[in-house]
Amino acid sequence: MSNTIEELEKQFQEKIDNEIKIEPKDWMPDDYRKNLIRQMSQHAHSEVIGMQPEGNWITRAPSLRAKKILLAKIQDEAGHGLYLYSAAETLGVSRDQFIQWLHEGKAKYSSIFNYPTLNWADMGAIGWLVDGAAIVNQVSLQKTSYGPYARAMVRICKEESFHQRQGYEIMAKMMAGTKEQQQMAQDALNRFWWPSLMMFGPHDSDSSRSSLALKWKIKRETNDTLRKRFIDKTIPQAEFIGLKVPDPDAVLQPDGSYKTGSIDWDEFWNVVKGNGPCNKQRLDHHKRAHDHGRWVREACIAFSEKQDKRKAIAK
């Protein structure tokens, strides 16, 4: 079967249209591969960098229960990063290369993690809002056209729902507490609400990559569709525990959905470009941790080589 590029592309699109998943060794257009490498590595980096804002509060968790839960959640994020790196590596890029691109600033991670976590209420806001937004996105991505990515998403979604519940529980507890605790919870919501909405990316009308990603079913739904789903779910959750989203224009519509105010996209692009409150701190910390782990990797390599040699001699 000898095929021209046009024929291969046609067959590829037919598979996509018929909901047949693409597997690593299958033929795929270069841009499909590039698009996936960018999106999946950004997703993996977000899981890993996302451990930092929460790691900030492990030693200061208010109870042993809260500390154990937070540790388990952060361990899950590490695991999700590993699922995603492995899935992305099937596209022919090594793990070391992905990390190098992150360190060089060539690969991005979600901008939400460039905001600081100032107090314990922020652990509630992150679990509830940031993980909540991530779940909406990831549930949709379970049906993405690339097999390894879809499989990683299914596993991640199974584990993620506890994250959002633990965040909401923190918020609910604080709202049932003292006046100061209630103010802390509202303040955390005020700071994380808009950045959470930005997690879904630019409006559909400004999203240059979206149409191709939708045609190839890398993305299954548009940024605005997913954002709206999150808003409609989250505002009633806020109101249920006495919180108010910091959007004076948010109005309930007759159909049960919400009309909301406009997002400050200047802030979004400013943080994406590296000028958020914690961009430098997050990346510096990742580089430092990676460098400090070098001797462990080298020792492991030396040990495995020694074992191989011993085995060879024994034979």
Sites of contact with other proteins (CB under 8 A): 1, 23, 25-27, 72, 75-76, 79, 82-83, 86-87, 89, 94-96, 151-152, 155, 159, 297, 300-301, 303-305, 307
Nearest to 99 by CA among 89, 110, 113: 89
Nearest-approach distance from CB 315 to other proteins, in angstroms: 17
- DSSP code of residue 20: P
Nearest-approach distance from CB 82 to other proteins, in angstroms: 6
Nearest-approach distance from CB 26 to other proteins, in angstroms: 5
Of residues 58 and 154, the one with the C-beta less far from other proteins = 154
Taking every pair of C-alpha atoms in the chain, what is the biggest distance, in angstroms? Answer: 78
CA distance 149 to 143: 9
Of residues 25 and 65, the one with the C-beta less far from other proteins = 25
- The residue whose two tokens read 């998403």 is 153
Nearest-approach distance from CB 79 to other proteins, in angstroms: 5
Nearest-approach distance from CB 47 to other proteins, in angstroms: 13
Nearest-approach distance from CB 244 to other proteins, in angstroms: 35
Of residues 179 and 311, the one with the C-beta less far from other proteins = 311
Residue pair 113/50 in contact (Cβ under 8 Å)? The answer is yes
CA distance 315 to 312: 5
CA distance 76 to 99: 19
Residue pair 22/28 in contact (Cβ under 8 Å)? The answer is yes
Of residues 75 and 270, the one with the C-beta less far from other proteins = 75
Amino acid letter for position 234? T
Strand pairing report for 258-259 and 251-252: antiparallel
Of residues 147 and 261, the one with the C-beta less far from other proteins = 147
Of residues 53 and 148, the one with the C-beta less far from other proteins = 148
Q: Tokens for 236?
A: 């009633």
- The residue whose two tokens read 């462990």 is 296
